[in-house]
Amino acid sequence: MGVPPLYSKTNEIFSKDLSETDVGVRLSFPMKALKVFQFLEGENKMEFEAADGIGKRWRFGLSKRKTRHPKPVLSSGWLAYVRAKGLQIKDRFVLYGDLDNLSTKKRFRVRAQRKVRRPIKLFGKEIHVEEVWVDVEELEGLKREVSRSIL
């Protein structure tokens, strides 16, 4: 039995390509994702904590309307995360969750990604350019790696 990967498709709650409103005001949260969160009776706001890929913990406020269509949003803590990660329109945000093995408490993880173009070379000649999603924390390392491969 090995250790599960940091990010696993099996526990992805949702992923979203970010819009202008998402990076400038609040993150519109998919309705289907609400089922993993437990609001106190009669409450329409809650907070949760999530770790990113480098282990930094982020505190987010999740709220929903009290009407039939709850339309959930991440507001408090969200813009600080956007600024810290340098997120832009069309970047991707992913939320993961799993139960702590020692309790019934859910643990959440977040991932911020950007699509980058990566050249594929054969015998020093560029034969193809692929677009791949890369964690924003890795972008500086990727830029150094690409610039070395071009030289």
Task: Answer whether 94's CB lies under 8 Å from 12's CB.
Answer: yes
The string of pLDDT tens digits covering residues 35-77 is 888 777 778 898 999 999 888 999 999 998 877 777 888 889 9
The pLDDT mean for the chain works out to 80
Percent of the chain residues topping a pLDDT of 70:
81
Percent of the chain residues topping a pLDDT of 90:
37
Q: What is the mean pLDDT of residues 24-35?
A: 88
Largest CA distance in the chain: 64
pLDDT for residue 70: 77
**Listed ranges 50-54, 89-93, 113-117, 125-129; the one with the highest mean pLDDT:** 89-93
Output the CATH code of domain 10-112. Answer: 2.40.330.10
The CA distance from 29 to 108, in Å, is 15
The CA distance from 119 to 126, in Å, is 6
3-state secondary structure 6-33: CCCHHHEEEEEECCHHHHHCCEECCHHH
The string of pLDDT tens digits covering residues 69-98 is 778 888 899 999 999 999 999 999 999 987
Query: Of the ranges 38-47, 58-67, 109-118, 139-148, which one carries the lowest mean pLDDT score?
Result: 139-148
The CA distance from 87 to 51, in Å, is 17
